[in-house]
């Protein structure tokens, strides 16, 4: 399978715990994006990387959220001190440097109890 992969697919955690999600993009893609989607809404942008550089962060991304892409390949998204409002589907997408077609992974569904 050469598509975008994400792990875990589902995560249930208690309020106040830290969680970390991983995304492996399509291998030749330079850009990697994180989005968050809640029920009935379209995905909302969180942050993106071009190679290992984090080029933009949304105002939605509070200081409890951090993302890395240390070697320009896979990326991690960490949420510290989770809140119930963090419950959502976290989507990763990747694209080539040129062009904007983004391909999504299967997502990680987070439930904060």
Partner 1 sequence: QKEVEQNSGPLSVPEGAIASLNCTYSDRVSQSFFWYRQYSGKSPELIMSIYSNGDKEDGRFTAQLNKASQYVSLLIRDSQPSDSATYLCAAPSYNQGGKLIFGQGTELSVKP
Which residues lie across from 104 on neighbouring strands?
93
How many residues in total does the chain contain?
Answer: 113
Cβ-in-10-Å burial (0-12, 13-18, 19+) of 24 comes to: middle
Does residue 55 bind partner 1 (CB under 8 A)?
yes
82/95 with CB nearer partner 1: 95
Tell me the window of 17-25, 65-73, 76-84, 91-99 that interacts with partner 1 (CB under 8 A). 91-99
Q: Least distance to partner 1 from the beta carbon of 73, Å?
A: 18
Q: Is the sign of the CA dihedral 56, 6, 75, 16 positive or negative? A: positive
Question: What is the C-alpha radius of gyration for the chain, rounded to an integer number of angstroms?
Answer: 13
Instruction: Mark out the alpha helices in 55-102 (DSSP H runs).
Output: none
Tell me the window of 11-19, 66-74, 75-83, 102-110 that interacts with partner 1 (CB under 8 A). 102-110
25/105 with CB nearer partner 1: 105
Binding site for partner 1 (CB under 8 A): 31, 33, 35, 40-45, 48, 50, 55-56, 89, 91, 93, 95, 100-107
């Amino acid at each position: 399978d050469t598509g975008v992969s994400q792990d875990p697919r589902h995560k249930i955690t208690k309020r106040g715990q830290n969680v970390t999600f991983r995304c492996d993009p399509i291998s030749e893609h330079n850009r990697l994006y994180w989005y968050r989607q809640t029920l009935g809404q379209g995905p909302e942008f969180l942050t993106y990387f071009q190679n290992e550089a984090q080029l933009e962060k949304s105002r939605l991304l509070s200081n409890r959220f951090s993302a890395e892409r240390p070697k320009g390949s896979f990326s991690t998204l960490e949420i510290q001190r989770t809140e119930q409002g963090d419950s959502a589907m976290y989507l990763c997408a990747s694209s080539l440097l040129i062009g904007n077609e983004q391909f999504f992974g299967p997502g990680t569904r987070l439930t904060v109890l």
